[in-house]
């Protein structure tokens, strides 16, 4: 029996997730092989591209500051999870647009689990002291988390589109700028949720109409169970993003106090100004009336 290893993507927009060409061509006779010895083709390390992955931690400090490896690793892990979150949020948005509500909710719940981990990861970085951070912090300027393209993509896709961030970005590659501009163009999760409300027969042309639709759904949860649960899942995503922002700014105060940021902002002051950001203000305002 011939077995084809690996995944073949069926979507045209792979969101940066490409099939592994080596894996797709690998075949072996399922009867003769021993586990882990498929003719020496696919291995743990080659499948996961560990040669490349584990070669990406390059320190700026010289002599090497002990804690800089932790700092780089944490950020790289964040970016890997951001990639996964974008993959899931994009699919959740598309599921809503296709009126597949169970799938949209299922994917959002996976995102919540990742987002909890993203906040907990701050604990690891806080094992670094301000003094040890100080050994290499001066080498990082003007780089900053402010320049995380995927972080901004998550904000745009979630509903907080702000073109001024694209203008303020320094050092974007053409591919990164294109990705951000595409996120500014395409429907957000909130746009997709409004499409769900319309598919259920609610008009959504004005804020008043949307508020009425949300009220009606909340007032009859047995009739509108899937739509209600989806709104709750969106709200949870919003709350977990807010929790990360709050955790990040407190960590920043612990690490650098009131110093300005390497990215050129006032530092904690700027980050505090972003704490009130909410993706779905109407879902929050609804609470007051329930
Ligand atoms: C020692 C640890 C950290 C410190 C002291 C720190 C500090 C800061 C500061 C001061 C800013 C404001 C921009 C500026 O630099 O002027 C900022 C922004 C940001 N940082 Fe960090 N950060 C740390 C760790 C992290 C980690 C682990 C991540 C995860 C990816 C991260 C992601 C971000 C993001 C996304 C922004 C932009 C936030 C926004 O515009 O709302 N930071 N950080
Ligand atoms: N902005 C931070 C430095 C920092 O944390 C950082 C530097 C380069 C790349 C990512 C970073 N993480 C979050 O801002 C600071 O002002 O200390």
Write out the residue range of the structural domain in which residue 14 sits.
2-53
Q: Give the pLDDT mean for 161-174.
A: 91
Is residue 170 very low, low, confident or very high in pLDDT (cuts 50, 70, 90)? Answer: confident
Q: Give the pLDDT mean for 224-251.
A: 98
Residue the block writes with tokens 């612990």 = 254
Give yes or no: residues 178 and 218 share one domain: yes
Q: Give the pLDDT mean for 79-87.
A: 98
Give yes or no: residues 112 and 229 share one domain: yes
pLDDT for the residue 11? 38
Give yes or no: residues 83 and 186 share one domain: yes
Task: Establish if 61 belongs to a structural domain.
Answer: no
Q: Give the pLDDT mean for 228-243.
A: 98
Residues with Cβ within 8 Å of 237's Cβ and at least 6 positions away in sequence, in order, are: 89, 108, 111, 112, 115, 158, 189, 279
Give yes or no: residues 155 and 111 share one domain: yes
The pLDDT tens digits of the residues spanning 265-280 come to 999 999 999 999 999 9
Q: Is 187 in the pocket of ligand 2 (CB under 6 A)?
A: no
Task: Establish if 203 belongs to a structural domain.
Answer: yes
Q: Give the pLDDT mean for 215-229.
A: 98
Higher-confidence position of 168 and 88 = 88
Q: Which atom of ligand 1 is nearest to the CA of 274?
A: 41
CA 256–ligand 1 middle distance (angstroms):
11
Task: Establish if 62 belongs to a structural domain.
Answer: no
Q: Is residue 172 scored above 70 in pLDDT? A: yes
Share the mean pLDDT of the chain. Answer: 91
Closest CA to 265 of 149, 170, 134, 126: 170
In whole angstroms, what is the distance from residue 85 CA to residue 16 CA?
A: 12
Domain count of the chain? 2
* ipTM for this prediction: 0.99
Q: Is residue 42 scored above 60 in pLDDT? A: yes
Percent of the chain with pLDDT over 90: 84
Task: Establish if 207 belongs to a structural domain.
Answer: yes
Give yes or no: residues 277 and 251 share one domain: yes
Closest CA to 156 of 120, 178, 122, 184: 184
For ligand 1, pick from 145, 151, 258 the residue to mutate: most ligand atoms within 8 Å of CB. Answer: 145
Task: Establish if 63 belongs to a structural domain.
Answer: no
Q: Is residue 19 scored above 80 in pLDDT? A: no
Residue the block writes with tokens 């949209």 = 104
Helix ranges (DSSP H) in 257-277? 268-273
Give yes or no: residues 22 and 156 share one domain: no
Give yes or no: residues 202 and 276 share one domain: yes
pLDDT for the residue 31? 54
pLDDT for the residue 15? 54
Q: How many CB atoms lie within 10 A of CB 263?
A: 17
Give yes or no: residues 144 and 199 share one domain: yes
**Which residue, judged by its Cα, is nearest atom 32 of ligand 1?**
145
Burial zone of 233 (CB within 10 Å; 0-12 exposed, 13-18 middle, 19+ buried)? buried
Rg for the chain (alpha carbons), in Å? 22
Q: Is residue 14 scored above 60 in pLDDT? A: no
The pLDDT tens digits of the residues spanning 95-132 come to 999 999 999 999 999 999 999 999 999 999 999 999 99
Give yes or no: residues 105 and 245 share one domain: yes
Task: Establish if 59 belongs to a structural domain.
Answer: no
Task: Establish if 12 belongs to a structural domain.
Answer: yes
The pair of structure tokens assigned to 58 is: 């390059």
**Which residue, judged by its Cα, is nearest atom 13 of ligand 2?**
145
pLDDT for the residue 192? 98
Whole-number Cα distances in Å, 286 to 102, 174, 231: 23, 41, 11
Is residue 4 very low, low, confident or very high in pLDDT (cuts 50, 70, 90)? Answer: very low
Give yes or no: residues 178 and 269 share one domain: yes
Q: Indicate the annotated binding residues for substrate.
A: 71-75, 137, 262
Give yes or no: residues 43 and 145 share one domain: no
Higher-confidence position of 17 and 40 = 40
In whole angstroms, what is the distance from residue 72 CA to residue 64 CA?
A: 13
Q: Is residue 196 scored above 60 in pLDDT? A: yes
Give yes or no: residues 26 and 113 share one domain: no
Burial zone of 188 (CB within 10 Å; 0-12 exposed, 13-18 middle, 19+ buried)? buried
């Amino acid at each position: 029996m011939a077995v084809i290893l690996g995944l073949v993507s069926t979507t045209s927009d792979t969101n940066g997730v490409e099939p592994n060409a080596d894996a797709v061509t690998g075949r072996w006779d399922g009867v003769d092989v021993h586990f882990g010895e498929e003719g020496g083709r696919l291995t743990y390390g080659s499948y996961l591209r560990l040669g490349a992955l584990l070669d990406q931690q390059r320190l700026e400090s010289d002599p090497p500051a002990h804690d800089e490896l932790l700092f780089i690793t944490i950020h790289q892990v964040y970016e890997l999870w951001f990639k996964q979150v974008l993959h899931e949020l994009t699919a959740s948005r598309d599921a809503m647009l296709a009126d597949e509500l169970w799938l949209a909710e299922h994917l959002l719940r996976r995102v919540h689990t990742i987002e909890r981990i993203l906040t907990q990861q701050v604990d690891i970085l806080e094992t670094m002291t301000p003094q040890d951070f100080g050994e290499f912090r001066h080498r990082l300027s003007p780089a900053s988390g402010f320049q995380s393209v995927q972080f901004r993509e998550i904000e745009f896709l979630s509903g907080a589109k702000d073109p001024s961030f694209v203008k303020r970005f320094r050092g974007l590659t053409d591919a990164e700028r294109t990705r951000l501009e595409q996120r500014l163009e395409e429907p957000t999760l909130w746009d997709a949720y409004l499409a769900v409300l319309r598919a259920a027969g609610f008009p959504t042309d004005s804020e008043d109409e949307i508020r009425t639709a949300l009220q009606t759904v909340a007032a009859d949860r047995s009739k509108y169970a899937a739509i209600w649960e989806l709104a709750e899942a969106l709200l949870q995503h919003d709350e977990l993003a807010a929790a990360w922002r709050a955790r990040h700014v407190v960590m920043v105060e612990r690490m650098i106090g009131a110093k300005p940021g390497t990215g050129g902002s006032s530092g904690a002051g700027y980050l505090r100004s972003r704490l009130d950001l909410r993706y779905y203000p109407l879902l929050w305002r609804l609470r007051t009336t329930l």
